[in-house]
Amino acid sequence: MDSLPNLIGQATKIDRDVAMYSSLTSSETKSGGDENPPMELEYRYVPNFYDAIKAIDNDGPGLSVYLQKELKATLTVLKCCGELVDLKPFDQIRFYRGGLPLMTIFVTVNNCGRSACLDLNDYRANLSKVIWAREHPHLC
């Protein structure tokens, strides 16, 4: 299976946006202490994904270089698909890989009790499907 950064490079913007939209889920925000991701970032308003990407470069403790690359590539896509994926109604954005927490971004101005959740494996699988469907329209 291709790495997530490679798939993102192969995909069109529409492919990336559709796969992101299909991969994001929403859940009730859990009280603190039940998950301890290696990275936690906090923003007052809408997350600044440029700063989050820089934080991964500077403070990526507990994350392998490969996971750092996957998270940075995913955040790059997320910052560009704002018109399709509205993250304003969430007080947390949680990133997982295989169900394990990688990073949580807190938005302190929101206190709505809802989290946006994205598993990098789900995003990779959805992106692969979207690319395959685009490349093989006669088989869909």
Q: Which residues of the chain have pLDDT under 70?
A: 1, 30-35, 46, 59-61, 82-83, 140
Q: How far is CA 121 from the centre of its chain?
A: 10
| pLDDT for 33 | 47
Which tokens go with 106? 């807190």
| Residue ranges making up the domain that contains 89 | 4-139
Report the number of distinct structural domains present in the chain: 1
| pLDDT for 12 | 92
Between helix 49-59 and helix 65-80 the angle, nearest 10°, is 170
| pLDDT for 2 | 81
What does each C-alpha distance from 17 to 2, 96, 97, 101, 126 come to in angstroms?
18, 18, 19, 23, 11
Which tokens go with 27? 């859940």
Evaluate the CA torsion angle 44, 21, 18, 88 in order and state its sign: negative
| pLDDT for 129 | 94
Please tell me the distance from the alpha carbon of residue 21 to that of residue 15, in angstroms, as a whole number: 10
CA nearest to 55, candidates 43, 114, 44: 43
How many residues in the chain? 140
Mean pLDDT of the chain: 84
Answering whether pTM is above 0.95, one says: no
| pLDDT for 46 | 66
